[in-house]
Amino acid sequence: MDQFLQSIFGDSILTQLLLGVLPLVFVLVYALVTLYSEMKIAAHIQDRLAYMRTGWHGVLQPFADMLKLLQKEDIIPTAADKLLFILAPYVVFIGTYAAFAVLPFSSAYAGSSLDLGLFYIIAVSAVVVVGILMAGWASNNKWSLFGAIRSASQIISYEIPAALAVLAVVMITGTMNMNEITKFQAGGIQNWLIFGGPLPLGHKLFLLPVMIVLALIYYVCSMAEVNRTPFDIPEAESELVQGYNTEYTGMKFAIFYLAEYANLFVVSAIAVVLFFGGWSSPFGSFMSGPIWDLFWFTFKGMLLVFVNVWLRWTLPRLRVDQLMYVSWKVLVPFALVCVVLVGAIMVL
Supply the pLDDT for residue 246.
82
How far is the C-alpha of 121 from the C-alpha of 175, rounded, in Å?
14
Cross-strand pairs, 109: 106
Supply the pLDDT for residue 15.
66
Tell me, what amino acid is at 93? F
**How much is the average pLDDT of 283-304?**
88
How far is the C-alpha of 10 from the C-alpha of 24, rounded, in Å?
22
Q: Which residue has the higher pLDDT, 197 or 265?
A: 265
Classify residue 237 as exposed, middle or buried by CB count within 10 Å of its CB (0-12, 13-18, 19+).
exposed
Among the listed ranges 75-89, 200-214, 238-252, 333-347, which one has the minimum average pLDDT value? Answer: 238-252
What's the pTM value of the predicted model, to 2 decimals? 0.90
Quick one: DSSP state of residue 330?
I
Supply the pLDDT for residue 267.
93
Supply the pLDDT for residue 10.
52
Contact assessment for residue 28 and residue 261, using Cβ atoms and an 8 Å cutoff:
no
Collapsed DSSP state (helix, strand, coil) of residue 166: helix
**Share of residues in the chain with pLDDT > 90 (%):** 26
pLDDT above 90 (res 11): no
pLDDT above 70 (res 3): no
How far is the C-alpha of 131 from the C-alpha of 129, rounded, in Å?
5
Q: How many helices (H) and strands (E) does the chain have?
A: 13, 2
How far is the C-alpha of 273 from the C-alpha of 170, rounded, in Å?
12
pLDDT above 50 (res 251): yes
Among the listed ranges 38-47, 96-105, 197-206, 301-310, which one has the minimum average pLDDT value? Answer: 197-206
* Average pLDDT over all residues of the chain: 85
Supply the pLDDT for residue 165.
94
pLDDT above 50 (res 4): no
> What is the tens place of the pLDDT at every residue in 25-36?
888 899 889 989
Is the omega angle on the peptide bond into residue 230 within 30 degrees of 0, that is, cis?
yes
Dihedral (CA of 332, 337, 343, 346) sign: negative
Q: Which stretch, 72-86, 96-110, 205-219, has highest mean pLDDT?
A: 205-219
How far is the C-alpha of 315 from the C-alpha of 307, rounded, in Å?
12
> What is the tens place of the pLDDT at every residue in 64-99?
888 888 888 888 888 888 888 889 899 999 989 989
